[in-house]
Structure 1
Amino acid sequence: MTPGRVVVIGGGIAGLTTAALLARGGAQVTLLERHDRLGGRAGTLSVDGFRFDTGPSWYFMPEVFEHAFALLGERIEDHVELDRLDPAYRLFPEPVDGGPSEPFDVVGDPETNWATFEAREPGAGQAIRRYTQESTEAYRTALDSFLYTTFARPDRLLSRDVVTKSRTLAGLLTGTLAGKVAATVTDPVLRQVLGYHAVFLGSSPYRVPALYSLMSHLDLVDGVRFPRGGMYTLIEALERIARKEGVEVRTDADVASVEIDDARPSLRHPRRSGQARGVRLADGTFLPADVVVSAADRHHTETALLGAHRELPEAWWADRGPGISALLIMAGVRGELPELAHHSLFFTRDWPGNFEDILGSGRSTPPDALRVPEAASMYVSRTTASDPTAAPPGHENLFVLVPFPADPTLGAGDRDTVERHADRYLDQVGAWAGIPGLRDRVVTRRVVAPADFARDFSAWRGTALGMEHTLRQSAMFRPGDASARVPNVLHVGGGTIPGVGLPMCLISAELVVKRMLGETSSRPLPAPLRPGYLAAARPRGVWSEQVG
């Protein structure tokens, strides 16, 4: 593709980065965002002097962020100041006697962590050391061979490294993360330390492939960082860069449909049924385009925006799992909260039951069969531990994420019930962390439920992250980034390859560029991209000649 006009639907991190990359390539890019500011799920809320990130809170995979900025000819350190967190996070196991939990920290020094784990279970320190060595190897293999590919040429994935590791990779793909963890340690809390990352994938350790053990490299080896000023500083930086590259940004622009003319199949596009000619806004405005890139929720794009030219009909979605949603509580608290770290994790003893409540026992459990957990495994962020400017003097901010059923009726009408859930979970945080009267110290709060994700982001079944990463919904089995029925419609974001999370969304933006260039390798593009690189692109050219 050598487009002149590109319309990008959705101003989250994926759409924003895609727009900037294509504008750098020489395309005339218009970015459409239905809300009054960019960011999507990676939003920000300022209320009563408190500042909250309203979505992603963990800064993982720093090399992916660095590379995305480098493609745009920028250094991330010129835009975002990163602090290394120590402790990386604090763990609160469920108390056994009704009193406070006995927390312990995962710190920045791996050797200290191995000693902490060894104290909980003899032999666990060395076992987890070996586990993280394997996770580092799996992480490097994923970066080098799988994450940066469009899967347009699966044969190009078969590098010497992949072939050499084929037996190991087969085991990591066919087993579950929970199974691999259980073979490493027996202590329940240490198993949770190695398995909690599955929630970041919208799923549970009992459902995601063992390959995702690679995520233990991120916190136990690589360490945890945080952008000073909050995660939204990343969005602000990318918006500045996109505008500098010439992107026209339109907020309060709700897209009602992608306008598509019928078209016949061809040898190159045997399933083609149409050709996009632009988008129609809810106010009736038509914007012409040579290429349309949707960063909107994938289910919404397929079932609402593409009309009769959808590639994934409702019947396809009925056999898929939306994954986890969330109840979010943003609370401004009077006084100090030293009991909590910047990141804190609360783990219930009945982890399998907890996950079954919110995910069900099958891959497509209907919403009415899911249950809201009474006591929850949850995540709590206190960014004022690292950045006091996020709250007024003498106060702290809390962001509480409770994994919740993907049920869009939760919070749709009966907000009192949602608020009572929030009360219960704040009381749980206070009881487990030994903070008497925590809820009474809350001076302002906002609660977000699955119904809000469905309304604000057109999220499939009100999910918070996007389609979960089970084996049949990961890698080449995940919906691709190019429409087979409308070849000039592309997809970006958590609903396509490589998956959910900010780093994956950044990679998905690069994959759109690869599609434009006809580039089929599994390697990242060289940085920086040459300004105007799309103008010189040949449909099936050699990427090193086009962008080097």
Structure 2
Amino acid sequence: MSRDRVVVIGGGVAGLATAALLAADGHDVELVEKNAELGGRAGSWERDGFRFDTGPSWWLMPEVFDHFFAMLGTSTTEQVDLVRLEPGYRVFYGPDESPIDIESDETRSRAVFDGVEPGAGDALGRYLESGRLAYDIAVDRFLYTNFDSPRAFLNPDVLRHAPTLAKLLARSLQSFVAERFTDRRLRQILGYPAVFLGSSPDRTPAMYHLMSSLDLAEGVRYPDGGFTTFVDALVRVARAKGVRIRTDTTATAIVTRRRRGIRRRSAIAGVRIRSGDGTERSLPADVVVGAADLHHIETRLLPIREQTFPQRFWDRATSGPGAVLVLLGVRGTLPQLAHHSLFFTEDWTTNFDAIFEHPTRVPVPASLYVCRPSATDSSVAPAGHENLFVLVPMPADPRIGRGGVDGAGDAAVEQIADRAIEMVAEWAGIEDLGERIMVRRTIGPDDFVTDVNSWSGGALGPAHTLRQSAFLRAGNRSRKVDGLFYAGSSTRPGIGLPMCLISAELISKRLKGDRSAGPTPV
């Protein structure tokens, strides 16, 4: 394999992972990141002794992390200290209903379901068995493939289960769950993973019921010290493999050259960059990996004639949700909340329609998610105080506005935050929550545009609808420019930290000419 000069654009999880793997493969790799800090959406913010993760907060699919680190000659255990959460999460349904704790174990989860709806425990067992089968097939045949060989589809396991897989793709997760469970609360527990996929239960294929086998059976973990410790680990392994990392360095254009004798195709020549001091220069490259937002890479860094995914592609695409994030440092303790707590409104179909149907609108009331990492990690808040991260799913609409510190954000964002705080206080029985807030910062959809060049202000990436999943999701290789590739949540295989690691491996496979369907043997 030749030693290529590679420039990776974007220092988020996908960019760092791609840079590390390509350097391990023997390439000369340089990474450029526009912000002063690395991590992208997996960012952090500190104030007055409180340290907040501002992005991912669930550690699922641990075998994907294990495989990634093994490819680099190390292990998850060596790089990150994982804690198994008990309970996995707590679910609130209103001020007058008792919350339900979901354990990180299938046997106990089945008991919880039986306690809510007689017979639901056995139904959950069958549901998780089906989910594990779908998950195993996905990992073995569909997640680690570039779909450039029919072998992904002609595998005996895939062919044997083809009728079942087809049915799972053809119907919604919501209908699949409703056929098996009656109680609204259980239906919501099994439907909410669609939000992790940037969608809603009625818009997500039933194939993704596989997600429930990850938390209800395999459990939920947390990296001690916060998710920035995972970003730090990626930086360490990337640098150890020889990656040169430039922060405060903005990619302003992808430089190409016309190929002789090949009509309407170009080849990579380099990347134009601007340093923090305003200096501009070009980095020569044989390969460029766009690991930032794909809409930004395509529509801002390339001329239209070289865009595989021009604006008209995005005009037809479906964004995942936006979000208002609320970071709260709270005086005293909050035992009413678990490490992860979910607050589900009764009419969440209306809630999701507000986010995804046009014209979109801010949902009132809004379902929301609260992370209390101080329940597990003493380093994220001063002794005796609590750290809360509140996520309120919103339409992917920058017009909702930007956030700020101590209530200084745009009015709509601060109103959304106020309603979320009131909802948590009422439903969890913390009457004085608002009075105990010592630190407050909000982040709105327009901040995602500024901070990570997010398409439409989305918090996650393109939604996992049927036509934006698996081989139908945006591909990771340019059709117009040889040597240009894409990694991250905008492309295959999709949204989430594990998917970003797999997307990095898919680039490594592309450059090695590896057309296999499963994880790279270690």
Q: TM-score range by the shorter chain?
A: over 0.9
Q: CA deviation at 1:264?
A: 5.3
Q: What amino acid does structure 2 have at the position aligned with 1:91?
A: V
Contact 1:272–1:486 (Cα < 8 Å) also in 2: no
Q: Does 1:393 align with 2:388?
A: no
Deviations 1:139-191 (A, max 9, x none): 11100110000111134432000000000000011111111101110111100
Q: Aligned equivalents of 1:341 and 1:65: distance in 2? A: 25
Aligned to 2:18: 18
Taking the TM superposition and a 5 Å limit, the aligned residue runs for 1:185-334 are: 185-263=181-259, 266=262, 273-282=265-274, 283-308=279-304, 309-334=306-331
Q: CA deviation at 1:4?
A: 2.4
Q: What amino acid does structure 2 have at the position aligned with 1:494?
A: S
5+ unaligned residues in a row in structure 1: which ranges? Answer: 528-548
Aligned to 1:78: 78
Number of equivalent positions:
512
Aligned to 1:488: 483
5+ unaligned residues in a row in structure 2: which ranges? Answer: 404-408
Q: What amino acid does structure 2 have at the position aligned with 1:514?
A: K
Aligned to 2:56: 56
Q: What amino acid does structure 1 have at the position aligned with 2:111?
A: A
Tell me the secondary structure at the aligned position of residue 285 of structure 1.
strand
Q: Aligned equivalents of 2:517 and 2:142: distance in 1? A: 6
Q: Aligned equivalents of 1:412 and 1:427: distance in 2? A: 20
Tell me the secondary structure at the aligned position of residue 83 of structure 2.
strand
Aligned to 1:372: 362
Q: Does 1:68 align with 2:68?
A: yes
Q: Aligned equivalents of 1:272 and 1:490: distance in 2? A: 18
Q: Aligned equivalents of 2:456 and 2:159: distance in 1? A: 39
Aligned to 1:459: 454
Q: Aligned equivalents of 2:219 and 2:98: distance in 1? A: 23
Contact 2:89–2:340 (Cα < 8 Å) also in 1: yes
**Shift in alpha-carbon separation, 1:412–1:433, aligned structure 2, 3 A:** closer
Contact 1:177–1:195 (Cα < 8 Å) also in 2: yes
Aligned to 2:133: 137
Q: CA deviation at 1:118?
A: 1.3
Tell me the secondary structure at the aligned position of residue 108 of structure 1.
coil
Q: Matched residues, percent identical?
A: 52
Q: Aligned equivalents of 2:301 and 2:63: distance in 1? A: 34
Aligned to 1:544: none
- TM superposition score normalised by structure 2: 0.96
Aligned to 2:507: 512
1:114 paired residue among 93, 110, 133:
110
Q: Aligned equivalents of 2:80 and 2:518: distance in 1? A: 26
Contact 1:41–1:55 (Cα < 8 Å) also in 2: yes
- TM superposition score normalised by structure 1: 0.92
RMSD: 1.3
Tell me the secondary structure at the aligned position of residue 418 of structure 1.
helix
Tell me the secondary structure at the aligned position of residue 399 of structure 2.
coil
Deviations 1:295-345 (A, max 9, x none): 010111111112231111111111111121111011000010000000001
Q: What amino acid does structure 1 have at the position aligned with 2:273?
A: L
Q: CA deviation at 1:45?
A: 1.3
Q: Aligned equivalents of 1:125 and 1:304: distance in 2? A: 51
Q: Does 1:92 align with 2:89?
A: no
Q: Aligned equivalents of 2:107 and 2:265: distance in 1? A: 58
Aligned to 1:164: 160
Q: Aligned equivalents of 1:229 and 1:264: distance in 2? A: 53
Tell me the secondary structure at the aligned position of residue 369 of structure 2.
strand
Q: Aligned equivalents of 1:480 and 1:345: distance in 2? A: 33
Q: Aligned equivalents of 1:420 and 1:348: distance in 2? A: 18
Q: Aligned equivalents of 1:278 and 1:297: distance in 2? A: 19
